[in-house]
């Protein structure tokens, strides 16, 4: 992970000490406590703003005056740059340098502080935007982030800044690799549990810019947990609950789930997997795809909601509904078929619907019987789909592309798992900065002014000069 060098940290610390030691309190509004808090917050933000601009100038000037810089790079003057931070807009000048050896140019300050080229929004702002995207549409995410900045710098100062647009949020999401956040948490202890429950369901989301107006994308959702705990009267909470989403095939999704289980659970002690869902073919396939051990016991259960829904579609008469449910509970399959056939005879106009529901129940008859097993804890996946997927994706028809739908579904799952998206993104940014720092422009070798290295002959002298070209600064 990239960490600022101690010399830069000292410069920033000294700049902050200098600004705060001379900060005046005369202009604070002491009329009421809320107004005092607001004015104090604005004053502190302005002080940090000035301190950072001073520190940037000091770091850049220090390198500009160094002998190392004068030997390798030619100064081409200063260029102005602006970046938006949580403390407002920073405007500063930094030197532009060109290498004597390669002719390539760069900004030392941008590299030293890991500031991406041509980027107005700093990583903290981007992390805030992506965190808001997990709950809100693009326009609302932009509004909420700008309001949060306004609380720091004051609404009057906020009005002077360019407003963040829906397109800006779209671009930030487009350029961020959410898959990079799926790396395992190495410090998390493995969860020991003999039984792991998995609930599955899907949501079909209409896509934008499709020639076929009926084109939809299936977003699969899995809820993983180990048990449930009574929290209030008739209310339960799932223990060790995790939510996973995917736009991949069922087989690829199963591989992702197995990887996740290996990272979070002690699979050596797992004896049972209980799979619950609506009986879709891809969910039944999980019975085979999730078998990570030969002697593992996997039980597939059709959830009660879809069982009851199928019965409700057969008839509207409550007494017949109760009779059908009793026949299922008593495992009277043949009698159940006879009653349903009588229903079709009495309702020829609804014969096709009743036949479809009969086929549905019969094809899942064994999985319905598993509802009576003592370890079956019910199924809440419909509620998860409603809150995690439908709340954002289907509330705005044809609002998303496949690429953004995948990114947002990952962010939604992080939010459901109570993970700090903003911190995760900033940690990822630090690791990316580290890789950029390793590939520093200062360490690029040049053989343009050493003819011996350009003739292609390998020898002891060639190796010696080659190694000297890689001596770090």
| Burial category of 136 from C-beta neighbours within 10 Å (exposed 0-12, middle 13-18, buried 19 and up) | middle
**pLDDT for residue 440:** 42
**pLDDT for residue 9:** 83
CATH topology assigned to domain 186-416: Nucleotidyltransferase; domain 5 (3.30.420)
Task: Count CB neighbours of 255 within 10 A.
Answer: 15
For 3, 44, 79, 150, 434, the CA distances from 121, given in Å and listed in that order, are 20, 21, 18, 15, 20
| Burial category of 340 from C-beta neighbours within 10 Å (exposed 0-12, middle 13-18, buried 19 and up) | buried
Task: Count CB neighbours of 1 within 10 A.
Answer: 10
CB neighbour list of residue 115: distance below 8 Å, 6 or more residues apart: 81, 83, 109, 122
d(CA 322, CA 343): 14
pLDDT along the chain (473 residues), means of 10: 71 85 77 79 82 91 92 93 87 93 91 85 90 90 86 66 85 86 72 95 84 78 93 87 94 93 92 94 94 93 94 92 94 93 91 94 95 92 92 80 90 91 83 53 44 54 59 39
Write the Ramachandran bin of 314: left for phi over 0, alpha for psi from -120 to 50, otherwise beta: alpha
Q: What is residue 187's three-state secondary structure?
A: coil
d(CA 236, CA 154): 43
d(CA 466, CA 14): 41
Rounded to whole angstroms, the maximal C-alpha distance in the chain is: 98
Strand runs labelled E in 143-284: 195-206, 216-225, 227-232, 235-239, 242-246, 272-277
**pLDDT for residue 26:** 76
Give bridge partners of residue 218 from the DSSP assignment: 204
**pLDDT for residue 93:** 93
d(CA 435, CA 328): 61
Q: Which two tokens stand for residue 293?
A: 């051990």
Handedness of CA 329, 332, 334, 336 (dihedral sign): negative
| Burial category of 364 from C-beta neighbours within 10 Å (exposed 0-12, middle 13-18, buried 19 and up) | buried
**pLDDT for residue 471:** 42
Domain borders along the chain are 6-120, 124-176, 186-416
d(CA 129, CA 141): 6
Contact between residue 340 and residue 323 where contact means Cβ atoms under 8 Å apart: no
* Per-position DSSP letters for 356-425, written without gaps between them: HHHHHHHHTHHHHHGGGSTT-----HHHHIIIIIIHHHTSSTT-B-HHHHHHHHHHHHHHHTT--HHHHH
Q: What is residue 113's three-state secondary structure?
A: coil
Contact between residue 93 and residue 79 where contact means Cβ atoms under 8 Å apart: yes
E strand or H helix that includes residue 39:
helix 33-64
For 132, 140, 289, 464, the CA distances from 396, given in Å and listed in that order, are 17, 13, 34, 64
Q: What is residue 241's three-state secondary structure?
A: coil
d(CA 166, CA 138): 5
d(CA 249, CA 441): 42
Contact between residue 431 and residue 2 where contact means Cβ atoms under 8 Å apart: yes
Q: Report the relative pairing of strands 235-239 and 242-246 from DSSP bridges.
A: unpaired
* Per-position DSSP letters for 290-322, written without gaps between them: T--STT-EEEEEE-HHHHHHHHHHH-S-HHHHH
Contact between residue 75 and residue 96 where contact means Cβ atoms under 8 Å apart: yes
d(CA 167, CA 176): 14
Kindly report whether the global pTM for this prediction surpasses the value 0.85. no
C-alpha 466 chain-centroid distance: 44
């Amino acid at each position: 992970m990239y960490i600022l060098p101690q010399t830069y940290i000292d410069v920033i610390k000294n700049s902050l000490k200098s600004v705060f030691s001379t900060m005046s309190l005369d202009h604070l509004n002491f009329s009421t406590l809320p107004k005092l808090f607001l004015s104090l917050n604005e004053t502190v933000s302005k002080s940090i703003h000035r301190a950072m601009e001073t520190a940037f100038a000091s770091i850049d000037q220090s390198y500009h005056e160094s002998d190392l810089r004068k030997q390798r790079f030619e100064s081409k003057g200063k260029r102005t740059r602006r970046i938006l931070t949580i403390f407002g807009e920073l405007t500063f000048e930094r030197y532009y340098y060109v290498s004597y050896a390669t002719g390539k140019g760069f900004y030392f300050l941008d590299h030293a502080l890991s500031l991406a080229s041509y980027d107005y929004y700093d990583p903290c702002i981007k992390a805030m935007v992506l965190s808001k995207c997990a709950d809100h549409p693009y326009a609302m995410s932009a509004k909420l982030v700008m309001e949060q900045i306004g609380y720091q710098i004051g609404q009057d100062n906020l009005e002077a800044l360019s407003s963040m647009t829906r397109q800006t949020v779209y671009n930030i999401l487009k350029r961020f690799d959410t898959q990079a956040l799926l790396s395992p948490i190495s410090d998390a202890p493995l969860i020991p549990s003999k039984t792991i429950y998995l609930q599955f369901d899907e949501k079909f989301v209409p896509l934008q810019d499709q020639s076929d107006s009926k084109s939809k994308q299936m977003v699969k959702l899995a809820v993983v947990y180990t048990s449930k705990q009574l929290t209030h009267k008739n209310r339960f909470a799932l223990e060790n609950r995790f939510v996973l989403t995917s736009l991949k095939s069922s087989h690829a999704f199963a591989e992702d789930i197995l990887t996740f289980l290996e990272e979070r659970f002690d699979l050596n002690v797992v004896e049972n997997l209980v799979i619950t869902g609506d009986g879709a073919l891809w969910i039944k396939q999980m019975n085979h795809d999730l078998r990570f051990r030969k002697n593992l016991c996997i039980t597939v259960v059709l959830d009660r909601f879809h069982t009851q829904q199928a019965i409700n579609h057969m008839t509207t008469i409550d007494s017949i509904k109760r009779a059908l449910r009793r026949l299922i509970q008593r495992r009277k399959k043949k009698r159940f078929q006879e009653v349903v056939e009588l229903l079709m005879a009495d309702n020829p106009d609804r014969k096709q619907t009743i036949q479809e529901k009969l086929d549905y129940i019969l094809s899942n008859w064994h999985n319905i019987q598993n509802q009576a097993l003592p370890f079956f804890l019910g199924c809440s996946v419909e509620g998860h789909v409603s809150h995690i997927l439908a709340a954002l994706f289907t509330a705005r028809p044809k609002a998303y592309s496949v690429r953004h739908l995948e990114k947002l579904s990952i962010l939604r799952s992080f939010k459901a798992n109570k993970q700090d998206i903003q911190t995760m993104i900033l940690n990822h940014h630090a690791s990316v900065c580290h890789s950029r720092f390793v590939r520093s422009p200062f360490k690029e070798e040049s053989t343009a002014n050493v003819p011996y290295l350009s003739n292609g002959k390998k020898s002891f002298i060639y190796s010696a000069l080659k190694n000297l070209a890689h001596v770090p600064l």
